[in-house]
């Protein structure tokens, strides 16, 4: 089952994908075509948003780092999220802005001191994030710093959440990023340094994870700098395709 | 109420910046910080009204940094320094608790985002007078620390303007305006009280997790 959050008749509502993902069925039974949908990021308000840096062996090597122990975890605010078919601003001076396709695990049950062997029982579903980075804005303080990773609307999320039951093995999914149709990332979640279960176990050692919390699990290799006007598609096997367009900074 | 993101800022204490000036030039930092150095506290940290804070067995003690939280009443996006205070609706005392960590190189999620690691006091209508007040901290009845936001390298208005140049501080967001580098430490059994003229005081009791 796939659940999407859309804007409909002035409200943010959850809807189920039906008819081979061609339509959305709302809670009251009304059905609309996906072509009419105004997609919102599928997030529960208030959720904590965790993200991973350097969590794919190939990407770590590409950037010239050694694999980090402990894992490099950072946080995002909800201001960063934008839904499927949304737009993300590329600042005029961001010549090194690149997309990062990431598997997102959504917590379904509170988790505290959960061992890795039971961690996936606490996942309700999965979605896709495009965690854009802008390398010019990196500073060596709490890196990756918020000026890089917490920009308004610079983390497309969606298009929907696929139930965990429909993703029996989250560590064997192909991820790809296409920029204007050209493949710039092609990896597999099997190359994660710390897998979804390991991340939940690690986080829940020191804090309580709550339903709706999200973990963006990092990105494989493939650093491709984008321009305003580019269409960026992040794709994960078994979940779908998340589409975003980069736009120039609006002029004041 | 606090309905949005909770942001804090480090390296905003003038005496600390002076002390660290030489260190900023060498790896891993290499150059002094340009943008405000921000962190996020997650929702599990919220401890409204203070009260009990459990410390896991791996923590002998924690750093307890008394600060002010500013609650936004409207969205601040690319606001000027002059217009920044108008975005602030409320204020409270807050105690930012963390596992002591000397390095500012990597984000400190594990150190800062444990359960109930952000006790905060009653929210009051924002009055800019609190930005000049002294914030006092006592532990087990002994006054141990005092500081004032007048020590901040970026004052509240400058901080909001600089942050809002690259991200929105939205209505319902809380901004912790800076931490004293000489913040005291506390451990299981300690009773901490922080106070500031114009704001409700905040009392926190640390105990070993699992113990009553």
The ipTM assigned to this model is 0.96
pLDDT tens track for A105-162: 999 999 999 999 999 999 999 999 999 999 999 999 999 999 999 999 999 999 999 9
Please name the member of B3, B44, B56 whose beta carbon is closest to the beta carbon of A210.
Answer: B44
Residues in B lying within 8 Å of A, measured between beta carbons: 3-5, 7, 10-11, 28-31, 33-35, 37-40, 42-44, 56, 77, 104-110, 113-115, 166-168, 170, 173
Average pLDDT, chain A: 96
Q: In a mutagenesis test of the B interface, which of A201, A206, A213, A214 is the best target, namely the one with the most B β-carbons within 10 Å?
A: A206
Domains, chain A: 1-39 (2.30.30), 41-248 (3.90.850.10)
What Rg value do the Cα atoms of chain A yield, rounded?
17
Residues in A lying within 8 Å of B, measured between beta carbons: 46-48, 50, 70, 72-80, 112, 137, 139-147, 150-152, 206-210
DSSP code of residue A46? T
List of chain B residues whose C-beta atoms are within 8 Å of the C-beta of residue A152: 77, 167-168
**Residue A68 pLDDT > 70, yes or no?**
no
- What tokens appear for B84 in the block? 């920044």
Average pLDDT, chain B: 97
- What tokens appear for B46 in the block? 């919220």
Q: Give the DSSP H or E segment for B203.
A: strand B199-208
Split at pLDDT 50, 70, 90, the class of A218 is very high
Would you state the pLDDT for residue A252? 72
For residues A78 and B5, the answer to whether their CB atoms sit within 8 Å is yes
Q: Where are the beta strands (DSSP E) in chain A?
A: 2-8, 11-18, 23-26, 31-33, 38-40, 49-53, 72-76, 81-82, 86-90, 97-98, 101-107, 123-130, 133-134, 155-163, 174-179, 182-188, 214-216, 231-236, 240-248
Give A56 to chain B, closest Cα distance, Å.
18
Q: Is A45 exposed, middle or buried (0-12, 13-18, 19+ CB in 10 A)?
A: exposed
- Give the residue extent of every domain in chain B: 6-208
Please name the member of B4, B105, B170 whose beta carbon is closest to the beta carbon of A143.
Answer: B105
Give B132 to chain A, closest Cα distance, Å.
28
pTM of the model: 0.97
Which among A233, A195, A223, A235 is positioned nearest to A60, based on CA atoms? A223
The mean pLDDT of B92-117, rounded to a whole number, is 97
The mean pLDDT of A89-96, rounded to a whole number, is 97
pLDDT tens track for A179-210: 999 999 999 999 999 999 999 999 999 999 99
Chain A and chain B share a number of CB contacts under 8 A equal to 103
CB atoms within 10 A of CB A168: 9
The mean pLDDT of A202-224, rounded to a whole number, is 97
Would you state the pLDDT for residue A234? 98
Please name the member of A76, A79, A140 whose beta carbon is closest to the beta carbon of B28.
Answer: A140
List of chain A residues whose C-beta atoms are within 8 Å of the C-beta of residue B40: 75-77, 146, 150
Q: Given an 8 Å threshold on Cβ–Cβ distance, is B38 in contact with A208?
A: no
Would you state the pLDDT for residue A251? 84
The superfamily (CATH) of domain B6-208 is Fumarylacetoacetase-like, C-terminal domain (3.90.850.10)
Split at pLDDT 50, 70, 90, the class of A67 is low
Distances in Å between the alpha carbon of A187 and those of A52, A128, A239?
Answer: 16, 14, 15
* Distance (Å, whole) CA A150 – CA B37: 12
DSSP code per residue over B15-77: HHHHHHHHHHTSTTT-S---S-EEEEE-GGGEEET-EEEEE-TT-S-EEEEEEEEEEESS-BS
The mean pLDDT of B88-95, rounded to a whole number, is 98
For residues A177 and A183, the answer to whether their CB atoms sit within 8 Å is yes
pLDDT tens track for B121-166: 999 999 999 999 999 999 999 999 999 999 999 999 999 999 999 9
Q: β-strands B88-98, A182-188: how paired?
A: unpaired
* Distance (Å, whole) CA A221 – CA A224: 10
The mean pLDDT of B171-184, rounded to a whole number, is 98
DSSP code of residue A27? T
């Amino acid at each position: 089952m796939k659940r999407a959050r859309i804007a409909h008749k002035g409200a943010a509502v959850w809807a189920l994908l039906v008819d081979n993902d061609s339509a959305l069925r709302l809670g009251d039974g009304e059905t609309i075509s996906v072509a009419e949908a105004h997609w919102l990021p599928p997030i529960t308000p208030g959720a904590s948003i965790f993200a991973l840096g350097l969590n794919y062996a190939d990407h770590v090597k590409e950037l010239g780092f050694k694999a980090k122990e402990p894992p490099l975890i950072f946080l995002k605010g909800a201001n960063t999220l934008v839904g499927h078919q949304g737009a993300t601003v590329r600042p005029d001076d961001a010549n090194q802005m690149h997309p990062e396709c990431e598997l997102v695990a959504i917590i379904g049950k509170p988790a505290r001191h959960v061992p890795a062997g039971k961690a996936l029982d606490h996942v309700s579903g999965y979605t896709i994030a495009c965690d854009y980075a802008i390398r010019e804005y990196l500073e060596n303080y709490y890196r990756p710093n918020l000026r890089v990773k917490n920009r308004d609307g610079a983390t497309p999320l969606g298009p929907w959440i696929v139930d965990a039951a429909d993703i029996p093995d989250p560590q064997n999914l192909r991820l790809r990023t296409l920029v204007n149709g050209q493949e710039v990332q092609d990896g597999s979640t099997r190359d994660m340094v710390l897998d979804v279960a390991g991340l939940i176990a690690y986080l829940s050692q020191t804090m309580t994870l709550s339903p709706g919390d999200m973990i963006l699990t990092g990105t494989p290799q493939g650093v491709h700098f984008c321009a305003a006007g580019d269409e960026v598609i992040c794709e994960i096997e078994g979940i779908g395709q998340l589409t975003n367009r980069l736009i120039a900074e609006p002029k004041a | 109420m606090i309905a949005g993101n909770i942001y804090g800022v480090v390296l905003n204490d003038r005496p600390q910046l002076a002390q660290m000036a030489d260190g900023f030039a060498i790896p891993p930092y290499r150059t002094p910080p340009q943008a405000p150095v921000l962190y996020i506290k997650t929702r599990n940290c919220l401890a409204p009204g203070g009260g009990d804070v459990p410390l896991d067995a791996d923590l002998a003690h924690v750093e307890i940094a008394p600060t002010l939280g500013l609650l936004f009443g409207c969205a601040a996006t690319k606001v000027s320094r002059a217009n920044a205070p108008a975005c602030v609706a409320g204020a409270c005392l807050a105690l930012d608790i963390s596992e002591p960590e000397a390095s500012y190189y990597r984000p400190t999620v594990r150190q800062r985002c444990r359960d109930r690691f952000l006790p905060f006091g009653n929210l009051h209508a924002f009055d800019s007078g609190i930005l000049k007040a002294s914030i006092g901290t006592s532990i087990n009845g002994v006054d141990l620390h005092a500081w004032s936001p007048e020590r901040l390298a970026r004052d509240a208005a400058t901080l909001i303007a600089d942050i809002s140049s690259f991200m929105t501080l939205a209505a319902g967001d809380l901004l912790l305006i800076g931490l004293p580098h000489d913040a005291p430490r506390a451990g299981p059994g300690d009773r901490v009280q922080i106070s500031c003229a114009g704001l409700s005081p905040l009392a926190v009791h640390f105990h070993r997790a699992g113990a009553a």
